[in-house]
């Protein structure tokens, strides 16, 4: 079996560490794994698998020549600077930031939905990973759209603090602890207190009143699905550490009901339907943390409109929404394309 040299950029962060973990879990065929981060993190140690410890190297000093694939999770500004550097050295960059997602020459990939578009990586040697909330959504939408053609989607998200990084997780922990100690915690990472609260605001506001997170879901869904799907989203941050949930209303052009949707989704690899109409007969973020799939519950007809259903969609945002999706892209890449034989044409 051919093996590949893989670099993890942002290896000391939540998603970077998880990328290392997922690579080991899925037995990705590596010849060498390199952990990269900023100079201030150089020399730190991170785990790869159960036994191997890697010493972090400085990204600023790293030569990507000879590296086959780099998984980036270090923020948009780092990706903007270093993905093209990796690409110019012949290394395929799989980027978890939002920087390249809407670039028409960069494929935006969820392997269960549009793996065929990975072939477009040769345009810039960069592949984009979607927003975590979009990734789980399109896994559910694609098979339903193929069956009955989606007319409109309206959804609300319930997004965990891990989607905003380690500092956000620390803020939830410290605020919760402080409240029990009769302290008055002040928000720093979030615009309002996140402990025992929900905040209908993720990322910056745009002129039309949507937040950038809501815009991402609209724009990215259409790009990944390959068709303009009218979509309205309200994105909400909730006091959960890991796992995003979504309440989704889907209207179809052709016949669709809850029974049909359940049958379709139950046959999709990567989806687990857990829909029992009893107390606890549904999935929540707490149960799916650490899982790679998308979990669907509460499938039911919308009595107010024909050919319209509601469903509840849950996934681990750090895994399927980020690390696992990136590794799945890398798996498809090496399975279907000869990276070393490809003629690199980076503009």
Q: What is the pLDDT of residues 93-141, one digit of tens each?
A: 999 999 999 999 999 999 999 999 999 999 999 999 999 999 999 999 9
Catalytic residue among 83, 91, 132, 235: 132
From CA 87, how far away is CA 326, in angstroms rounded?
Answer: 16
This prediction has a pTM of: 0.94
Q: Is 201 a known active-site residue?
A: no
Give the number of other Cβ atoms within 10 Å of residue 249's Cβ: 17
Q: Tell whether the model's pLDDT for residue 269 goes beyond 90.
A: yes
From CA 207, how far away is CA 330, in angstroms rounded?
Answer: 37
Q: Tell whether the model's pLDDT for residue 185 goes beyond 90.
A: no
Q: Tell whether the model's pLDDT for residue 341 goes beyond 80.
A: no
How is domain 4-129+322-336 classified at the architecture level of CATH?
Answer: 3-Layer(aba) Sandwich (3.40)
- pLDDT score recorded for residue 207: 96
- pLDDT score recorded for residue 50: 85
Residues 174, 166: contact at Cβ < 8 Å? no
Domain boundaries, the chain: 4-129+322-336, 133-160+198-316
Q: Tell me the three state secondary structure of residue 235.
A: strand
Per-residue pLDDT band at 48 (split at 50, 70, 90): very high
- pLDDT score recorded for residue 345: 45
Q: Looking at the DSSP assignment, which residues form a beta bridge with residue 120?
A: none
303 CB burial (10 A radius; 0-12, 13-18, 19+): exposed
Query: Which whole number is the average pLDDT over 234-262?
Result: 98
- pLDDT score recorded for residue 329: 98
Residue with tokens 């402990």: 195
Q: Tell whether the model's pLDDT for residue 183 goes beyond 90.
A: no
Beta-strand runs (E) in the chain = 4-9, 30-37, 45-48, 52-55, 57-58, 69-72, 92-95, 126-128, 150-159, 231-237, 244-252, 271-273, 294-301, 308-315
Catalytic residue among 145, 235, 244, 313: 244
Query: Which whole number is the average pLDDT over 221-233?
Result: 97
Phi, psi values for residue 83, rounded to 5°: -60, -45
What is the percentage of the chain residues whose pLDDT exceeds 90? 94
Using CA of residue 40, residue 44, residue 47, residue 52, what is the dihedral sign? Answer: positive
Select from 1.10.260.40, 3.40.50.720, 3.30.360.10, 3.40.50.300 the CATH code of 133-160+198-316: 3.30.360.10
SS (H, E, C) 180-208: HCCCCCCCCCCCCCCCCCCECCCCCECCC
Per-residue pLDDT band at 339 (split at 50, 70, 90): confident
Q: Looking at the DSSP assignment, which residues form a beta bridge with residue 233?
A: 155
Query: Which whole number is the average pLDDT over 178-197?
Result: 92
Q: Is 132 a known active-site residue?
A: yes
pLDDT tens-digit readout, 64-101: 999 999 999 999 999 999 999 999 999 999 999 999 99
From CA 268, how far away is CA 171, in angstroms rounded?
Answer: 37
Q: Tell whether the model's pLDDT for residue 344 goes beyond 90.
A: no
| Same fold for the pair 4-129+322-336 and 133-160+198-316 | no
Per-residue pLDDT band at 346 (split at 50, 70, 90): very low
Give the N- to C-terminal CA distance of the chain in Å, as an integer: 32
User: From the CA atom positions of the chain, what is the Rg in Å?
Assistant: 20
To the nearest whole number, what is the mean pLDDT of the chain?
95
pLDDT tens-digit readout, 205-214: 999 999 999 9
- pLDDT score recorded for residue 342: 53
- pLDDT score recorded for residue 182: 87
SS3 content of the chain, % helix, strand, coil (to 5): 35, 25, 40
């Amino acid at each position: 079996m051919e093996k590949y040299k893989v670099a993890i950029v942002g290896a000391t962060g939540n998603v970077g560490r998880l990328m290392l973990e997922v690579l080991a879990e899925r037995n990705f065929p590596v010849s060498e794994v390199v952990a990269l981060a900023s100079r201030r993190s150089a020399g730190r140690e991170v785990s790869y698998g159960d036994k191997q410890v890697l010493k972090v190297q400085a990204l600023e000093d790293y030569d990507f020549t000879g590296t086959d694939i780099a998984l980036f999770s270090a923020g948009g500004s780092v990706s903007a600077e270093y993905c093209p550097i990796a690409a110019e050295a012949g290394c395929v960059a799989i980027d978890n930031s939002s920087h390249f997602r809407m670039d028409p020459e960069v494929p935006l990939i969820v392997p269960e939905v549009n793996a065929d578009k990975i072939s477009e990586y040769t345009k810039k040697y960069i592949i984009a990973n979607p927003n975590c909330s979009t990734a789980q959504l399109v896994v559910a939408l694609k098979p339903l759209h193929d069956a009955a053609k989606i007319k409109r989607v309206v959804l609300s998200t319930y997004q965990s603090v891990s989607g905003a990084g380690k500092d956000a997780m620390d803020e939830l922990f410290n605020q919760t602890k402080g409240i029990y100690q009769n302290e008055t915690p002040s928000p720093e990472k979030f615009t309002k207190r996140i402990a025992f609260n929900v905040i209908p605001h993720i990322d910056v506001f745009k002129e039309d009143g949507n937040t950038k997170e809501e815009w991402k879901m609209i724009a990215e869904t259409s790009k990944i699905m390959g068709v303009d799907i009218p979509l309205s989203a309200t994105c909400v941050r909730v006091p959960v550490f890991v796992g995003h949930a979504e309440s989704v209303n889907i209207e179809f052009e052709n016949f669709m009901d809850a029974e049909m949707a359940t049958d379709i989704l139950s046959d999709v690899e990567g989806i687990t339907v857990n829909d029992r109409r009893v107390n606890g007969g549904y999935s929540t973020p707490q149960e799916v943390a650490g899982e790679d799939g998308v979990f669907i519950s509460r499938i039911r007809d919308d009595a107010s409109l024909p050919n319209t259903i509601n469903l509840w969609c849950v996934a681990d945002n750090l895994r399927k929404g980020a690390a696992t999706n990136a590794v799945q892209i890398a798996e498809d890449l090496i399975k279907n394309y000869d990276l070393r034989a490809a003629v690199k044409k980076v503009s």
